[in-house]
Amino acid sequence: MRIIKHLTTGDQSVTFPQCKPHGQQPKRATFKRIANAVIAYIALSMSFDARSDAFTLDVDANGKTEPLTDGLLIIRHLFGFEDDTLTTNAIGADAQRSDGASIEAYLLDHRSLLDVDADGEVGPLTDGLLIIRHLFGFSDDALIAGVVPVSATRSTADSVMDYLGTLIDTDNDGLLDSVDPFPFDKLNGYSELTESSWSCASEARGPSGGFQFTDTGLVMTLEEEVSEQNLKLEIGLPCSPDECLDQGYQYLEKRRLVPSTVVGNEVTFDLVAPTHKRFELKVEAIYKNCTAVLTDSFRYASGVRENDAFLLPEGISINEQRYAGFELPAPSAAPLVLAGFRSADGTGYSDPPAWNSSWSLLADRGRLFEGDSKLKIGLFGDLTEIHWKLAVELIELLHKIAPDLEADFADNYGEITLPIFIQVCEDWEQNSFFSKCENRPKGELNGSPTEDSYFIWVDVTGYYNPGFYGNFPTIRHEFGHAVGLQHHLCSGGQMPVNEMRPQTLSFSLKELAMIALIHDDRFPTGSDKSFDQTREALGIIMDDNVQAYLDDPDLVCEDSAYDQTWGPLWNEYQRNAVIDSGTPISE
């Protein structure tokens, strides 16, 4: 399930998109073209026991080797788990081996092969961790740090990865990775394009020829020359978004590539992963108005990994002392009332706007980041320097008003808890499958409470639209939702959405007070907390003014008491807020 907050509509919706048909699959290459390759593969498999019907780390036998199923089953087994405690929430879809007894028997029969570090013993915190780290994509020092004992005879990352390659068939093609020249491509790099491979409009036809995947790209050798403008590669997920929920990274995979080189009838595309995630992808060739699915099980072999450092552009840094000279005001009633009341229609888009009189403080989601789940930001997409500066502005502000969040840029890709995606959408992406592009100023905070994963998506295609200022208010608006703010009906700031009470260009004084109050360490979380319980926990005294606010929340909008306590901090924030009046995206 995906919960979506729409800036332009204010609605929440639960969506379950369906897969589009993949179209006709390409035919395999002729025997003449691949006979030698087949013979070579057979020879390799016979001499190295490379076939996947030998023991592999695909413990649940569903054709995939994954960390949170197979890796978890292995490490639980090594800790002594049995029966349901071994298998609960650790069996993959379409598993052929799913009960505790059969999995335990399978692993016991091949226990010696689980001695990854070759120290003569099989342990959960050595061999088990090496296996699950490898399945998560760890490499180099990140793979072996702290888990290889001094007695190990297989102690380097390369030797561990080479060994695990003899136990994994990533693409489920019957060849273990150690002897598979194309471990991420079940077609093993060879396939053929014929006239029937293409699905074309009218009487058009696509070029015949062949194609081959490599670690870093795709090479197409066609029987006729094509121009760079006529041939493109479209990449996306073959599954639906609800099946592939993964913090928005799946949406970033939806892209079209132009050839990196065209030399005669040979065309090359660069295929390097844009993120640290590794999805199974559909790769489709587009020639004029013809399409041909090349594979729907492609995985990148090259690109960033979970443990790779998340690098900031040169010149981007956080000033830890930005607001050090300001005292944080104590919680007060006015921001508490404002944070807890909605508009009458629940969205803030009603005309004329009106307040909902019932107390509903953060009833839909509460605080997204608390406890061990710190706010670690990563930026992706069509970024300019000013987007990074905006993120710095937000982080510096939260250091002062919500210090427990420990807001910061992530140190590595795996640490990111709030990815922010900025995209300038092309016409072909509008309303296409697995895309959020609608070619209009739009932002969303998406997430799944059960998955504890959230992300912000902002379509900046309408960059020059009057009043949107580079969509920075849109980005701040969705970020406001991420730190607990709802739509409110006071004019100004980033969270109002009604034309009668419009936004301004940065967070308002009232919104800073609300963020600080929501993230005060005394603030009771959970949607079942009443106003009085929350007020008492924060040390706010009930008096006639508080009751007046509850009776008429419009009085909060008119309240000027903030000016004395929050005014100095807000004025300094205004001087530091990043305002952009329409810098071209290309700059």
| pLDDT tens column, 514-563 | 999 989 989 887 667 788 888 999 999 999 999 999 888 889 998 888 78
Is the CB of residue 267 less than 8 Å from the CB of residue 319?
no
Count of beta carbons in the 10 Å neighbourhood of residue 263 = 9
Between helix 333-340 and helix 544-551 the angle, nearest 10°, is 20
Q: How many CB atoms lie within 10 A of CB 143?
A: 22
pLDDT of 527: 64
Task: Note the pLDDT of residue 582.
Answer: 55
Q: What is the per-residue DSSP string for 307-338?
A: TSB-PPPTT----TTTTTTSPPPPP-HHHHHH
CB 354 within 8 A of CB 343: yes
- Yes or no: say if 254 and 198 are a contact pair by the CB < 8 Å rule: no
- Tokens 């019907």 belong to 53
pLDDT at 356: 79
pTM (2 d.p.): 0.72
What SS3 state is found at 213? strand
User: Kind of pairing, strands 231-236 and 418-423?
Assistant: unpaired
pLDDT tens digits for range 446-501: 876 656 688 999 988 766 555 455 678 889 999 999 998 988 889 899 999 888 88
Pick the closest to residue 454 from 481, 419, 412, 411 (CA basis): 419
467 vs 165, higher pLDDT = 165
The amino acid that residue 367 corresponds to is R
**Beta carbons of 183 and 190 less than 8 angstroms apart:** no
Mean pLDDT, the chain, rounded, equals 82
3-state SS assignment for residue 284: strand
What number is the average pLDDT over the span 206-215? Answer: 90
H or E segment at 298?
strand 290-298
DSSP H/E element including 467:
none
**DSSP H/E element including 111:** none
Q: How confident is the model at residue 348 (pLDDT cuts 50, 70, 90)?
A: confident
Tell me the β-bridge partners of 75: none
Residues 6+ positions from 436 with CB-CB distance below 8 Å: 251, 423, 442, 444, 457, 459
